Amino acid sequence: MPGEFSCLAGMPFDMARNTACAQCLQGGFEYLFFLDSDCIPPRDAVLRLLSHRKPIISGVYCRRSPPHGIPVMIKGGQWITQYTPGAILEVDFVGAGCLLIHRSVLESLPPNKMRPEHRWFHWRVDARGVVGENGLPLYPEGECLSEDFAFSLECRKQLGIPTLVDTSIVCRHVGYAQAIPGGMYPLETHPVT
C-alpha cells in the first residue's frame, strides 16, 4: 500500500493539522492518519482503522492532564470512562492523536467563515468570551473547543458525519509518564531492535 509520511512540527496544532489536510488532498491520498508524537499505538493500528472503511475513526488514548487516565473522547458533554473493549463507539468529540480521516470529509467540509485558513481544524479555546463585530459571541456556548474537538463538531453539524472510536486500539499517551486507562503510570519503554 503506497503512502507518504510527513512530520509537521514547530507550528500551532491547528496550523499543523490544516497543513497535513492540504497535503493529503494535493497528494491525491485517500486517507489521512494523524499520529501525535506523544501517542504510541499498537503496531497494526493504521491497518485496523482502515479496515473499518469509515469517514472518521480514532483509536483510544488517555488524557495526560487532569483528569488523568480518562480517554480523550466525550459523549453528551461527559468524558467516556466506561466502554466495551473491542467495540466501535460513536462519540461527540475525540482527540486527533490517533485519528484516520477519509479524503471525502476534507473535500466536503466548507471553509471556516471567520478563519478561512482554518478550513478543517481551528483552535477555539481562546475565543471564550470574544465578541464579533455584530456584538454576538464568535462561537456559541460549548463550541470554544480544541482544534480536534472542533473538527468533530463541524463534521457532525455541517456534514452529518459521526466520529467513531475503535476501542480495541488503545494507545499509550507518553511524556515523563504515560496515561493509560485508569491513570498516570511510570513510562515504560520498549525499544524496537
Q: Is residue 9 part of a domain?
A: no
Domain count, the chain: 1
Where does the pLDDT of residue 2 fall: very low under 50, low under 70, confident under 90, or very high at 90 and above? Answer: low
Quote the distance between the C-alpha of residue 162 and its chain's center: 13
What is the reported pLDDT for 190? Answer: 67
Mean pLDDT of 143-161: 92
pTM to 2 decimal places: 0.87
Task: Report if residue 24 sits inside a domain.
Answer: no
Rounded Cα gap, residues 111 and 118, in angstroms: 7
The answer to the question of residue 82 being in a domain is: yes
Q: Is residue 147 part of a domain?
A: yes
User: pLDDT by residue (tens digit) across 64-83?
Assistant: 888 888 999 999 999 999 99
Q: Is the pLDDT at 173 greater than 50, yes or no?
A: yes
Q: Which residue has the higher pLDDT, 12 or 9?
A: 12
Report the alpha-carbon distance of residue 62 to residue 185 in Å, rounded.
Answer: 12
Lowest mean pLDDT among 29-38, 52-61, 86-95, 113-122: 113-122
What would the grid cell of residue 136 be? 454576538
Residue 66 lies in a domain: yes
Q: What is the mean pLDDT of residues 113-141?
A: 79
What CATH number should be reported for the domain holding residue 37?
3.90.550
Q: Which domain holds residue 168?
A: 32-183
Let me know if residue 23 belongs to a domain.
no
Q: How far is CA 192 from CA 13, 14, 60, 189, in A?
A: 28, 31, 22, 9
Is residue 84 scored above 90 in pLDDT?
A: yes
Cα–Cα distance between 11 and 140 in angstroms, integer? 27
User: Is residue 115's pLDDT more than 70?
Assistant: no
Would you say residue 191 lies in a domain?
Answer: no
Per-residue confidence (pLDDT) for residue 8, from 0 to 100 = 77
Within a domain: 12: no
Amino acid 67: pLDDT: 84
Q: Is the Cβ–Cβ distance between 32 and 101 less than 8 Å?
A: yes
